[in-house]
Structure 1
């Protein structure tokens, strides 16, 4: 039979002064006891808690018997004792089914999952953006070329069952000031996704409050330089003649470099639809619908639960330009293809190997430099075709919700980053509604001098 605990008067310094030397206990709950060990020069606080058939015990601080500063009174000792027991039980729960999961391990598993997903899409082994971001600012990475070793951040070694909001805030505060707000937010989102994934996979042995710690520790903050984020810069909004000049240059580069129409068709579709490269690259032959006068653009992978396609009307000239890509091909084949090359062993010569779909936006980098150089627009980026498509629709007076749907984005994003052109477009619409109101030749009209 378990012994009955004999409660000791340890709540005040005067009561403790009358106690004999040794350890005295007081119950906090049936399985947790606060202890006071009295010595010759004061005492210290202890906590013990039931662990299986026995108890675990731990000192938690010095009692305020003689000095008040930096010591613990009874109430502070109770709070500290409860906190230590909760932490110890979480520790035991976390390691019960295997080694404790650290922030670094959670990030590594997330990176492996992202790398596998991107490699599957590309058809070859590639490293995701999340791997580069988390490797540089959390996990650390070995020396590569001229780049030295990047040490892991202290946060990587923290076990997630002991993770505190302060740990996350300290990591954020330690990020380089030179890191752009957009890049910083992507990094934070990567870590948030990694930790939430780890909690979901290990929720039976983790504190249910962990998602709240992750949420508030990695909460998005308003960026001070929001207006400077170059999402829709003035020089990236192209007029129709400028878009035509780029397409003309694309056709010339295509012909001179032996692309056989592959490069030109890609740029045409980007310009006509305003879609992202990742969407256009996934289009199938069946997405070309000449009778309906439209192209079906696969939904982007941004967000959750998205599927299907977005129908985008295009002109006959665009449909005619794509005809060679659909003639005699099955509907489930990729619409936009390109030649791939391999290097002849022992030579600097490259030869054509096979045809396959476009895979990453970086494949457009080199030919795009030639295109914009020939068009005389050295600063224009491929994404300018998307910006220009959105602004073109806005200027035509299309409802913002329709503009957002056609470009597979949100109304909030359109309103945030294209507000100036929305205002201009609405002003033009209002101007068209203005009609003469004052009767001409009315003798009662009084002229107001300037």
Structure 2
């Protein structure tokens, strides 16, 4: 059975061809070895390697180059893929290597054509903008229309959108591109945690784009994203030692919060109660601001803390966190006379009436942590703590307090709405110390001393000398 192919009528240096079916068989040129190619006349010679895919060899006076052509719609496309190994040197391709390069080239070209078939091919910029819009919409839904300045746009807007990677087509994106971007971000002098956060935001944006445009993107793209944005080998994030505060420092922070609340800011207890809950529960700011009046269970001495929005799995609605009578007493003014569905922690809202005058218009729920950032600086200064101590130190300290009290790691993780793996990764040094203390309690005396100590006489030397 003879093989019929489309016979070409094209200029050999053009990139797109149209074929007419002339019922002729493709002449399989001997291009598989250097010796075979040496006997060929100057010009282009073809050999089929896959259905509707031909590997070509263009012979010139000084060696030749490899070409590939393949069907693309109603016509064919052709491109150069490398230099033939007529003269063996670095970078040249033999026949087998040329076949592999041809197939890889066609796979990429077909993915690109597929991506462009349904409109402009998506870029990293498109992925980042879509993620930003969805993230901001979620924040507005949670905060009643308010948007934090530290939303995803802050990180992606500063480190992704202005970068050259933003214009990279998603179907062409490789792990090398992502690693090069990460290096550029790191070279800016950013701290490791910031690089990790912006990398996580970019990974989330790209993975969301893969879900939205999966039919137009290569199947290997998720793996390229995973390895391209992976943290450096051997790096394991740990909680900063300076941010784990002893209980005495935490008490000073709470005392200073009451003083700043009353004296400098006149928050009427709103600020101090926020700090008390953060310190007592070790919860994230985004969790405690969603506490309601009904979440205060005074009889059980417990706060029902809402779970965080982090993670993808199905989570329980609230976590019961034990607290002391002192915390319950501090919250009583915020509970008295209010219904259970009202937000527990609120703050005064102000309206500007003149260029220099603001007046209170009522209390409302907290929106973002930035709302108490200036007050936090006053609190840490009054408590005599270093300026670098951040509010998240209260969470670090709560976790370590549980570990030092020899609570099981799994229980500490559950109380703080995180995983045992994260506790072990970030607080491993404190786990070891706690286990040492626990193991020391199992040490019991095993050797009993004799009732009377009898000295062992020294042996006499030879000849009777002592």
TM-score when normalising by structure 2? 0.84
Instruction: Tell me what 1:135 maps to.
Output: 157
Q: Does 1:27 align with 2:36?
A: no
- Cα pair 1:342 1:353 within 8 Å, conserved: yes
Gaps of 5+ in 2: 1-20, 457-466
Helix, strand or coil at the partner of 2:367: coil
Which range moves more in the overlay, 433-442 or 193-202? 433-442
Q: CA deviation at 1:74?
A: 2.5
Q: Indicate which of 389, 392, 397 corresponds to 2:401.
A: 392
Q: Secondary structure at the match of 2:254?
A: helix
- Measure, in 2, the Cα distance between the counterparts of 1:63 and 1:232: 57
2:57 is matched with: 36
CA distance in 2, matches of 1:279, 1:219: 28
Distance 2:448 2:66 in 1: 94
Residue 384 of structure 2 corresponds to which residue in structure 1? 376
Alignment map for 1:156-167 (pairs within 5 Å): 156-167=166-177
Looking at structure 1, the residues matched to 234 and 326 of structure 2 have their Cα atoms a distance apart, in angstroms, of 43
How far apart, in 2, do the equivalents of 1:17 and 1:182 lie? 59
Q: Conserved in 2, the CA contact under 8 Å of 1:254 and 1:263? A: yes
Q: Does 1:206 align with 2:181?
A: no
Q: Of residues 139, 156, 181 in structure 2, which corresponds to 1:118?
A: 139
The yes-or-no answer on 1:342 pairing with 2:364 is no
State how far apart, in whole Å, the 1-side matches of 2:320 and 2:129 are.
Answer: 38
The answer on 1:298 being equivalent to 2:301 is no
The answer (yes or no) to whether the contact 2:243–2:396 under 8 Å persists in 1 is no
Q: Report how far residue 433 of structure 1 moved.
A: 4.7
Q: For each residue in 1:223-275, what CA deviation from the matched residue of structure 2 results, as whole angstroms up to 9, or x when unmatched? A: 55x58x6x342464222x43333322222222223212211211221122121
SS in 1 for 2:49: strand
Q: In the TM superposition, what are the counterparts of 1:355-434 in structure 2 within 5 Å?
A: 355-379=363-387, 380-434=389-443
C-alpha RMSD of the superposition? 2.7
Separation in structure 1 between the aligned mates of residue 338 and residue 150 of structure 2, nearest angstrom: 32
Moved more, 301-310 or 122-131: 122-131
1:192 aligns with 2:200: no
Residue 172 of structure 1 deviates from its aligned partner by 2.4
Task: Give the TM-score, by structure 1 length.
Answer: 0.86
Which position in structure 1 is the counterpart of 2:257?
250
- CA displacement, residues 182-225 of structure 1 (integer Å, 9 cap, x when unaligned): 2212222222111111111111121111111112222222455x
Tell me: CA distance 1:50–1:388, structure 2 relative to 1, closer, same or farther (3 Å): closer
Single out whichever of 245-254 and 414-423 deviates more from structure 2: 414-423
- Structure 2 distance, partners of 1:437, 1:175, is 59
Cα distance in 1, alignment partners of residues 243 and 211 from structure 2: 45
Checking the alignment, whether the CA contact within 8 Å between 2:244 and 2:400 is kept in structure 1 is: no
Q: Does the 8 Å contact 1:115/1:127 carry over to 2?
A: no
Change (3 A) 1:100 1:127: farther
Paired position in structure 2 for 1:93? 114
Q: Distance in 2 between matches of 1:9 and 1:117?
A: 63
Please say which of residues 262-271 and 248-257 is displaced more in the overlay.
248-257
Give aligned pairs, total: 430
Deviation of 1:425 after TM superposition, in Å, equals 3.3
Q: Which moved more, 1:415-424 or 1:394-403?
A: 415-424
Separation in 1 of the partners of 2:249 and 2:321? 21
Distance 1:386 1:106 in 2: 33
C-alpha deviations, 1:298-324, integer Å up to 9, x for none?
A: 112222223411101112221122122
For 1:443, which of 431, 434, 452 is the aligned residue? Answer: 452
For the residues of structure 2 that align with 1:185 and 1:445, how far apart are their CA atoms? 68
Distance in 2, matches of 1:223 and 1:157, equals: 31
Unaligned 5+ runs, structure 1: 141-151
Q: Secondary structure at the match of 1:174?
A: helix
Tell me the equivalent position of 1:183: 194
Q: Report SS of the residue matched to 2:56.
A: strand
Aligned to 1:146: none
Matched, 1:267 2:289: no
Distance change (3 Å), C-alpha of 1:58 and 1:329:
same
